[in-house]
Structure 1
């Protein structure tokens, strides 16, 4: 029996001119032992962006799944205790070794850790890695506008991406406006609010109207809002369910009802202002 056609995954244009899939697969809390299988399942479901990080401790498994696959957009990140010019370069070499690759598509600074005042030196290291050709694009994660302003002022290089917590309960409108002004892609981690949104009455009502799933509704809201979600799941069925967001479209009323779910207390992950090396992060 023929398999159903895979949905078409949209792309976003980075400010360095490169294309990045707008919809990807995140590997937070996927163990190294599970990563090869989970990432392979994601590839089979049509995903073409895989997001990992040194702190996830699964780069080896991700690398095994991507062996000889150079058509996949791969992101990894420099962790907090590896910040600094030389330290970041050493950490990135270790990431490449674990991944079994000569280069990655996107390298991010995982958190600003502004109190340590090393993120500008780390950014300068990422610029050099890009110039050396070992990284194709560079960006940041969990940075506030004030942090990005400083990067731009001191180096003249604007991040291509800022990966932040973003979901209907925590919509980060000021950050998104800032990113649009600077042509930075807003990539969303925990785009489903770690599952908390799946039982929201508004989301469930729209899912019933659309004859789809709550996850597809939320992820479609991300796409139509211009953000780039990277949902995580180990279930092949949920991978396909998430990807079904690419096959539905929300009307203006439905988008407005989801927009109205934003909360002042909607954050579920760490606060970038407070986070240091002692906290576990996304």
Structure 2
């Protein structure tokens, strides 16, 4: 469980725990509340949510009720992807701040470069406007770090052309067989840390024969193998789970995938072939 206290360092020097706890598709109310309480109780100090997940209130309550000092928890939420104006961004920041019942976010992300209702649309101008608001909030100390999600190379270049403050993170769908090499390479060249949402491919990859076989050889679970794969590639995984047992199992990462096995994993094609991509991670 030591991995939960290890950190990456962002462009601005901020330390971010190497493993986060994801809450996508975790229903508001008791399910989200208990999941986050269990995660914090088991040692997680990095919690990831989003306005569109609909569970910010429960996540915030769990953080408050945990009794853990706020400064010891790294909290991320996201701007809804259809908000592409300066004023709208400021407004939705306040909405999330009140819902989570905190005074600042450790990380705020533009959830996607386009609205989920129009995936692939060009919103270059709107993304620049949202980013301008992010920079304002960052300068005011309301955000410790700022970043993006689901941005490809073009979308990153669009912001970098005008940004006073570079995005520090790009949170993308990333798992064994779906590693977005072009996006990852460009991000790393610009000092942008990659976070992996759906590192287990929302469970779709856990029955993949090659994953299962390698996990058995290492005496670990397919989920543990998938999370460790991200870490050994220098990526920050955000596994989600709702049962205490699974939450705990996902922290048992005290093993090493050999260089030869990493080569095999990195060469695999999509290990979750039936999975629909460009989802709300």
Deviation, 1:193, is 1.1
Instruction: Report the 3-state secondary structure (helix = DSSP H, G, I; strand = E; otherwise coil) of the residue aligned with 1:229.
Output: strand
Which residue does the alignment assign to 1:206?
A: 214
Q: Give the alignment's TM-score, normalised by structure 2.
A: 0.91
Q: Select the residue among 17, 38, 41 that pairs with 1:21.
A: 17
1:267 deviates by 8.8
Which structure 1 segments of 5+ residues have no match?
1-5, 272-279
> How many Å separate the matches in 2 of 1:222 and 1:268?
19
| Distance in 2 of aligned mates of 1:236 and 1:264 | 26
CA 270–259 in structure 1, closer or farther in 2 if over 3 Å, else same: closer
Residues 217-269 of structure 1: per-residue CA shift (max 9 Å, x gap): 11111100111010111011111111112x11111111111112134995944
- 1:31-72 Cα offsets, whole Å, 9 max, x none, are 120222110100111111100000001000000011153111
Structure 2 alignment gaps of length 5 or more: 115-120
Between the aligned partners of 2:78 and 2:214, the Cα distance in structure 1 is 35
- Report the Cα distance in structure 1 between the residues aligned to 2:122 and 2:154, rounded to whole angstroms: 13
Alignment counterpart, residue 181 of structure 1, candidates 182, 189, 200: 189
Other-structure match for 1:3: none
SS in 1 for 2:2: coil
- Whether 1:101 and 2:102 are equivalent positions in the alignment is yes
Where does residue 88 of structure 1 map in the other structure? 89
Aligned-pair distance for 1:83? 2.3
- CA deviations 1:120-166 (Å, max 9, x no partner) are 10000000000011111000000011111111111232110000001
SS at match of 1:88: helix
The reply to whether residue 160 of structure 1 matches residue 168 of structure 2 is yes
TM-score by length of 1: 0.91
2:251 to 243, 251, 255: 243
The 1:12–1:40 alpha-carbon spacing in structure 2 relative to 1, beyond 3 Å, is same
1:17-96 correspondence runs (5 A) = 17-33=13-29, 34-67=31-64, 69-70=69-70, 71-96=72-97
Alpha-carbon contact 2:110-2:147 (below 8 Å) kept: yes
2:264 pairs with 1:257: yes
Tell me if structure 2 keeps the 8 A contact 1:170–1:263: yes
Shift of 1:16: 1.0
